[in-house]
Amino acid sequence: MTNLRYIRNGLPILFLTTILIGIGVSSSLQAGESNAMKNLSPEKVADFIHAIVEADRHVYTTHIVERMQEQGVVMAREDWENKSAIPLPAQFLHISSKLVAESGHGIRFRLISLWPIYRRNGPATGFERQALEKLSLDTNTPQRGIVSTGKKRLFQAIYADTAVNDTCITCHNAHPLSPKRDFRKGDLMGAIVVTIPLED
Amino acid sequence: MLLVGTLPLVIGLVLAFYQGTQEIREVNGSSFEALATETARKIDLVIADELARTALLSTDVNIVKELERNRDALSEMNPQERALTLQQEQKAWNAKAAGMLKKTLEGPFADILQSHVGGTFIDPGHPIPVITRSATRGLFITDRAGRVVASLDSDIPYLHHEEAWWKGAFHNGVGQPYMGQVAFDSHLGVYTFTLSLPIMDSLRYEAIGVLHRIYDAKEFFAPSIDIIRFGKTGHVMLIDSRGVVLSCPILPTGTSISDTRLIPLVTPLHSGWTLAPSDGHGGTEASIIGFAPLSNTRQITQMSTGQTWHMFVWQSSEEVFAPIEHFFKWTSAFGLLGVAMLVTLGYIAANRITAPIRRLQEAAQQIGRGEYREPIELSTGDEIEELADEVNRMNQQLASQFAGLESQVELKAQEVKYLEESTIKILDNVPDPVLMIGPNEQIEYLNKASREAFAVNNGEIIGTPLFQIFPLDPATQDRLKQEIQAVQVREPLSSGSTQDNVSNTTLQDPLNPTNWAHSGTNRQELRINQRTFRYRWFGVQARPGRGPSAGLVLRDTTEESILQDRIIQGEKLASLGVMSAGIGHELNNPLVGVIGLGEAIQEETDPEQIKEYARGIVQHGKRMASVVRDFTGQSGKQLPEGQTAINLNELLEQSLSTVKGIFPSVPVEIQTHFGPIPPIQGKVLELSQTFINILTNAFQAMKQGGKLDISTEKSGEELEIRFRDTGTGISPTHLPRVFDPFFTTKGQGEGSGLGLTVAYRIINKLGGHIRMESEGNKGTTCLITLPVTNAPLARERSSTS
């Protein structure tokens, strides 16, 4: 339970802290030196956020989930809230994402896929769909663009999310709601979308 | 017996009931849990389905676009403008301004809502129109500011941004689903729960509105829950973690379960079953309740209101345990029937089996005791009857055998009685006292002579100590005790010793000095009350179960001693007479010669002739002197009563010479064969008296002449002296009595009848034997045997009498 609680509360907070530090840095830069602020492009912020998100998920996946499962301490499973289990790496990202959104700084990130287990995780816009399609051809080049909702304009960077370890593949290939079940290591599974509001 | 039989039955029944109850509890608990889990899953799916369908509405492109515009419009206003606008619009709404109502209730969104609820809405992914539930009691959309932008009806407030559901679903623009708890809607008059979904912008970046839907809780869940019924009372119920009923076929929605104690028992976050103290439906009976949380729905409800929803499966205990109770009742009934049958069959069995066996048992016991009984009449027609027949046969055989035995026993008893009586009679007629001494010197029996001798009554004296009637000095008492002990110890040990006892217990002849002399060495003489008794012990086999006994025979020898002294005196006188006669006879012949020669000297003148006659007189005198010397010489050399070494051959010659002198005219041819024999210890006078008596008898038997053989020889350790005459012999009738005192066949003056008696006594005293043999009138043989070493000789009787 201690582990679980640590995972449920501790890790996202740790994660959040790193993000806030990042944002805080950018804020202070905005306040202090406008030139420096101008140099801090949304692309870089998005890259920075993406790097942190991916690093955190990697740490969680490799050093927590896999180790705990190997040692038989606790399993990661989708219905972790009802069982003695810990969240799946994807759920970890969702929870982090929600916490970041709830922090009220406007920056959002989420996972999307052309083969989502739940439809809500499908591409929300044409841009996202196109980005996924492009990424499936070239995983190394993030898709970036400015999108709008109504009059609101936002910067989006979409990074390829490939199957880097067995946990992801096993789960997606076995899940009854999964539309695609032939993922292999290195395959593109989806993308991480980082959304940053552009102030008018 | 019956109790022993029924007790296990009752215990078994109770155990079976207990075990059955346990198992039914387990099985039903598990079933209830499974049903709860299954139903929870089903409701989860129903809710998830409803969420998904409602979500279609919340993602409607037109709605999203409109709400985006709405957002942009609001964001362009400054706060004052915005507050004013909202205030004005709210007023208009409250006043049911036609424009407001029209926009809200009849606008394009309202159509979407209507078509969705009405069932004509077509999901882009689905070709079939979605049939929404009729449970929807309200459906409206609010924008980012909480204003109603579209609704199915106007009976709702205009601004909702302060509502919990609105805040929950909007979630500061992040947006998350919200499910409100069950509450009574006073406007609708029903218990409702609400579902609020955020409407996200087209980028799913932020919430731009909230879709709010109100459901009649009962109507929503009843189709899924109320139909699940099993048995008469078994059903499924949906409650929230407060214990409030969302749907139940029995309890009305919105009520709480009757027993709040149940809430923590049935609302854990896992499925299970419990034996609850009540049923939650007003019943107070302990109940089995299965439960399971709505796991998926929980993710929303817990986030929204902190509550969880749970399935609750229950069936009345009466019904649950009805089968086991029926089983128990029936088993009890059958058990009672069984007991009744047991009693009946037991009674029959007792009549048919036990009773006959009891009778057989009694009969066997009676037969065993030897009581003859009438034959057993059994007609069971089975083995018992055969057994009874066998017992009867056995009884008859035993009876016949017993009859023989009884008569034999009777006969034996009579014999024993006869023996006892005759023994007592014999013993009573024995002139000598006979006593039986038991352990501790207690008197067991006295014969008549004893009773008379010691002047006691038989009945009084039995059991008293011996020495109470025998006033004896302590030394003698000790001696007698030792003797009694010796006899008592010896007797039971060795029956072989009885032979010895027989010889020992031979009643002693008072004229048999040898045995008495032996006895004398053991001092077997008692003086009681101025009387002298000789006594003998004899062993008696102990009676079964009693201590060893010793028999005591006493003989009053007081009179006998006197008589014996007289006999000996008489016998001495008789012997003296014989000897005097012999001496007289011996002296008479030379005396006649002396007288004749003396007369001749008187008339003879011739001196030579006179000298011749004188020489004759001297010769005769010398002969007379020799005769006197012969009779007196030996006695003069030793004391008359003393013992000396005696040459039997010489003594026989002298005795023969004496007897020949007594019977000078009897023409007896005498032959002597004297062998070389050693001298023996004895009294000359007694032995010569013995020989003279025997020889006298021989001469008297051969008055008409005959032949007498006298022989001596040593044979082993004995000396044999044999006198064989050819006289008249002794008739067989007289032969056994020849040693009896005063028995004689001779004429008056010829014999005293004591000669052989004395001879017998003397020889016995010397440890020898004397025997007379005769074959009719062919003569008599007297055989005397004497031990070579007959010393030490017994003490003289005279010393003790």
- Tell me: the pLDDT tens digits for A79-136? 888 788 999 999 999 999 999 999 988 899 999 999 999 888 999 899 999 999 999 9
Query: Tell me: the pLDDT tens digits for A127-161?
Result: 999 999 999 999 999 999 999 888 889 999 999 99
- Tell whether the model's pLDDT for residue A38 goes beyond 50: yes
> A140 burial class (0-12, 13-18, 19+ CB within 10 angstroms)?
exposed
Q: Would you call B203 and A125 a contact, using CB atoms and an 8 Å cutoff?
A: yes
Comparison of pLDDT for A164 and B712, the residue scoring more: B712
Place of tokens 């409702």: B192
Q: Would you call A150 and B174 a contact, using CB atoms and an 8 Å cutoff?
A: no
Question: What residues of A are in contact with residue B293 (Cβ under 8 Å)?
Answer: 82
B689 with B551, same domain: the answer is: no
Residue B257 near residue B243 (C-beta atoms within 8 A): yes
CB contacts < 8 A (A, B): 51
Q: Would you call A150 and B295 a contact, using CB atoms and an 8 Å cutoff?
A: no
B174 with B248, same domain: the answer is: no
Question: What residues of A are in contact with residue B204 (Cβ under 8 Å)?
Answer: 110, 124
> A83 burial class (0-12, 13-18, 19+ CB within 10 angstroms)?
middle
Q: Residue B243: inside a domain, yes or no?
A: yes
Q: What is the structure's pLDDT at B721?
A: 93
Q: Residue B7: inside a domain, yes or no?
A: no
Which residue among B219, B243, B259 closes a domain?
B219
Element (H, E) at B453: helix B448-453
> B415 burial class (0-12, 13-18, 19+ CB within 10 angstroms)?
exposed
Question: What residues of B are in contact with residue A110 (Cβ under 8 Å)?
Answer: 204
CATH number at residue B463: 3.30.450.20
Q: What is the CA radius of gyration of chain A?
A: 17
Is residue B555 classed as helix, strand or coil in its secondary structure? Answer: strand
Residue B285 near residue B317 (C-beta atoms within 8 A): yes
Q: Residue B374: inside a domain, yes or no?
A: no
Give ipTM to 2 decimals: 0.79
B141 with B271, same domain: the answer is: no
Q: Would you call B72 and A152 a contact, using CB atoms and an 8 Å cutoff?
A: yes
CATH number at residue B682: 3.30.565.10
Q: Residue B235: inside a domain, yes or no?
A: yes
Q: What is the structure's pLDDT at B2?
A: 62
Tokens linked to A63 = 């050093």
Which residue among B556, B586, B615 closes a domain?
B556
Q: Residue B603: inside a domain, yes or no?
A: no
B301 with B201, same domain: the answer is: no
B171 has a chain A CB within 8 A of its CB: yes
Question: What residues of B are in contact with residue A151 (Cβ under 8 Å)?
Answer: 72, 75
Q: Would you call A149 and B68 a contact, using CB atoms and an 8 Å cutoff?
A: yes
Residue B179 near residue B193 (C-beta atoms within 8 A): yes
Q: Would you call B205 and A195 a contact, using CB atoms and an 8 Å cutoff?
A: yes
Q: Residue B339: inside a domain, yes or no?
A: no
B57 with B184, same domain: the answer is: yes
Q: Indicate the residue of B174, B202, B299 with minimum beta-carbon distance to A149.
A: B202
The parent domain of residue B265 ranges over: 224-322
Q: What is the structure's pLDDT at A30?
A: 45
Element (H, E) at B443: strand B443-446
Quick one: residue B512, left, alpha or beta (phi over 0 = left, psi -120 to 50 = alpha)? beta
Q: How many separate domains does chain B show? A: 4
B199 with B316, same domain: the answer is: no
- Tell whether the model's pLDDT for residue A37 goes beyond 70: no
State the Cα–Cα distance between residues A82 and A90, nearest whole angstrom. Answer: 17
B775 CB contacts (<8 Å, ≥6 apart)? B729
A199 has a chain B CB within 8 A of its CB: no
B159 with B255, same domain: the answer is: no
pLDDT < 50 stretches in chain B: 129-130, 492-523, 633-640, 791-801
State the Cα–Cα distance between residues A125 and A129, nearest whole angstrom. Answer: 6
Q: Residue B116: inside a domain, yes or no?
A: yes
A176 has a chain B CB within 8 A of its CB: no
B651 with B800, same domain: the answer is: yes
Q: Indicate the residue of B68, B172, B205 with minimum beta-carbon distance to A154.
A: B205
Which residue among B492, B523, B556 closes a domain?
B556
B209 has a chain A CB within 8 A of its CB: no
B189 with B300, same domain: the answer is: no
B42 has a chain A CB within 8 A of its CB: no
Q: What is the structure's pLDDT at A86?
A: 93
Q: Would you call A154 and B202 a contact, using CB atoms and an 8 Å cutoff?
A: no
Q: Residue B459: inside a domain, yes or no?
A: yes
B442 with B479, same domain: the answer is: yes
- Minimal CA–CA distance to B461: which of B432, B436, B478, B481? B436
How many Å lie between the alpha carbon of A147 and the closest alpha carbon of chain B? 8
B110 with B194, same domain: the answer is: yes
State the Cα–Cα distance between residues B243 and B259, nearest whole angstrom. Answer: 9
- Tell whether the model's pLDDT for residue A2 goes beyond 80: no
State the Cα–Cα distance between residues B758 and B747, nearest whole angstrom. Answer: 19
B658 CB contacts (<8 Å, ≥6 apart)? B579, B582, B586, B631, B688, B692
Interface of A with B in 97-116 (CB under 8 A): 98, 101-102, 104, 108, 110
State the Cα–Cα distance between residues B27 and B32, nearest whole angstrom. Answer: 8
> B566 burial class (0-12, 13-18, 19+ CB within 10 angstroms)?
exposed
Q: What is the structure's pLDDT at B122?
A: 59
CATH number at residue B316: 3.30.450
B752 with B788, same domain: the answer is: yes
- Minimal CA–CA distance to A50: which of A6, A107, A8? A107
Element (H, E) at B31: helix B2-58
State the Cα–Cα distance between residues B543 and B557, nearest whole angstrom. Answer: 32
Q: What is the structure's pLDDT at B723?
A: 93
State the Cα–Cα distance between residues A76 and A62, nearest whole angstrom. Answer: 12
CA angle B3, B5, B11 (to 5 degrees): 85
